[in-house]
């Protein structure tokens, strides 16, 4: 019995032993944290930075972590600038442009906010009639323009599909992933989390009935017309309920990250399981509107990651952007390194997301040609019709 008790007591330690214990120590809760550290302070370019910063069991020195990042970037870019000055060029203009770029890159390394200052304004024009953009109607728009500041390319690189990426010299990847704006053209209700769970459970019951029943046929009822009418009416009610199903959570509700609990496993977006260390939420401006930045600090078998979700809602339009700071476990880096990188870049990212806008919106409405379940004898016939409609919508 004593052996069994010992085994049971040891199980939690075995289960969590493979994950970082960085957040298990109370060194970032109720701590005296200086959150107003100015990363743009003068950096001593002759200092050899080893990456070691002051960290005690009661505080995370975000300023030291951020300055260590700034120092490493500045040292690296200073060496590049020397190489640029010594290189051969076709003419003086080409040389001066290269040196200007290098000087700005060093400024940005010392203060990432300068990447916004030295960035360029760009307008992306989205229209459902453009090939490949037919699905824009499913987001509630026929067209709109998105105005943004493209960051200086020394800090973030456009890697396609609207995704931006920065990779630090020590191997931390920062991903900046904006999503399409979503207009609530169906006028779906905004529910709290518990209401959403109940609504979804009810939908599951109705959908199960729909999938397992065919549309009543009059010939099967012979002379029992009343029963036929009742069964047909019930079938139509279920079809319409399933067709009209939908709801949305407000950004405030989404910011609670209900799907993940601290110190426990949760299903990640790629289908695997991940371990949640910590959750946080703060207010932020998102696409010019009041919103939230919710933070999920997690790891799985391969990576450690800090995910920031930015979200706001205005006049039925929801804006969302995901930012990830991550590295492979095999790199030997820790959550302290991720925290430092995040603090180094987060003010710039906050600014970039806050200043994005959409303009010239043309809203979509429910497509009158979208198949209705009540028009088909069974779920298989409906699904075939829906697939054809969706291909036409997407312009395939």
Same domain, 318 and 235: no
Same domain, 153 and 284: yes
Instruction: Write down the pLDDT at residue 67.
Output: 77
Same domain, 155 and 202: no
Domain carrying residue 234: 193-247+366-394
Q: Does the residue 123 lie in any domain?
A: yes
Instruction: Write down the pLDDT at residue 58.
Output: 47
Same domain, 200 and 348: no
Instruction: Write down the pLDDT at residue 99.
Output: 76
Instruction: Write down the pLDDT at residue 6.
Output: 43
Instruction: Write down the pLDDT at residue 50.
Output: 40
Instruction: Write down the pLDDT at residue 79.
Output: 62
Instruction: Write down the pLDDT at residue 32.
Output: 46
Instruction: Write down the pLDDT at residue 113.
Output: 95
Low-confidence ranges of the chain (pLDDT < 70): 1-17, 25-60, 74, 76-91, 396
Q: Does the residue 56 lie in any domain?
A: no
The three-state DSSP-derived secondary structure of the chain is: CHHHHHHHHHHHHHHHCCCCCCCCCCCCCCCCCCCCCCCCCCCCCCCCCCCCCCECCCCECHHHHHHHHHHHHHHHHHHHHHHHHHCCCCCHHHHHHHHHHHHHHHHHHHCCCHHHHCCEEEEEEEECCCCCCHHHHHHCEEEEEEEEEECCCCCCEEEECCEEEEECCCCCEEEEEECCCEECCCCCCECCHHHHHHHHHHHHHHHHHHHCCCCCCHHHCCCCHHHHHHHHHHHHHHHHHHHCCCCECCHHHHCCCCCCCCCEEEECCCCCEEEEEEEEEEEEEECCEEEEEEEEEEECCCEEEEEEEEEEEECCEEEEEEEEEEEEHHHCCCHHHHHHHHHHHHHHHHHHHHCCEEEEEEECCCCCCCCCHHHCCCHHHHHHHHHHHHHHHHCC
Same domain, 347 and 203: no
């Amino acid at each position: 019995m004593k052996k069994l008790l010992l085994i049971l007591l040891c199980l939690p330690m075995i289960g969590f032993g493979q994950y970082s214990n960085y957040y298990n120590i109370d060194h970032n809760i109720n701590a005296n944290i200086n959150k107003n550290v100015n990363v743009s302070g003068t950096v001593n370019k002759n200092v050899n930075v080893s990456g070691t910063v002051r960290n005690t069991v009661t505080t995370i020195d975000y300023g030291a972590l951020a300055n260590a990042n700034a120092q490493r970037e500045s040292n690296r870019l200073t060496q590049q600038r020397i190489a640029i000055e010594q290189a051969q060029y076709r003419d003086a203009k080409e040389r001066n442009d290269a040196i200007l770029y290098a000087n700005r890159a060093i400024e940005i390394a010392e203060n990432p906010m300068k990447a916004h200052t030295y960035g360029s304004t760009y307008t992306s024009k989205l229209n459902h009639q453009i090939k490949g953009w037919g699905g824009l109607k499913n987001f509630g728009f026929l067209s709109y323009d998105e105005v943004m500041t493209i960051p200086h390319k020394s800090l973030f690189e456009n890697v396609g599909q609207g995704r931006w990426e920065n990779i630090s010299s020590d191997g931390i990847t920062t991903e900046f992933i904006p999503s399409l704006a979503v207009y609530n053209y169906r006028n779906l209700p905004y529910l709290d989390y518990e209401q959403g769970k109940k609504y979804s459970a009810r939908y599951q019951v109705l959908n199960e009935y729909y999938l397992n029943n065919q549309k009543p046929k009059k010939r099967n009822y012979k002379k029992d017309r009343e029963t036929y009418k009742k069964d047909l009416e019930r079938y139509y009610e279920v079809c319409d309920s399933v067709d009209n199903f939908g709801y949305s959570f407000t950004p405030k509700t989404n910011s609670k990250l209900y799907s993940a609990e601290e110190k426990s496993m949760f299903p990640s977006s790629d289908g695997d399981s991940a371990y949640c260390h910590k959750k946080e939420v703060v207010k932020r401006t998102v696409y010019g509107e009041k919103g939230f930045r919710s933070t999920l600090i997690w790891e799985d078998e391969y990576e450690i990651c800090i995910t920031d979700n930015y979200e706001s809602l205005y006049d039925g339009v929801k804006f969302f952007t995901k930012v990830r700071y991550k590295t492979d476990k095999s790199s030997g880096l820790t959550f302290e390194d991720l925290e430092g990188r995040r603090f180094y870049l987060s003010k710039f990212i906050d600014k970039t997301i806050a200043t994005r806008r959409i303009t010239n919106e043309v809203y979509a409405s429910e497509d009158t040609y979208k198949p209705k379940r009540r028009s088909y004898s069974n779920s298989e016939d409906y699904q075939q019709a829906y697939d054809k409609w969706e291909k036409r919508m997407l312009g395939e």
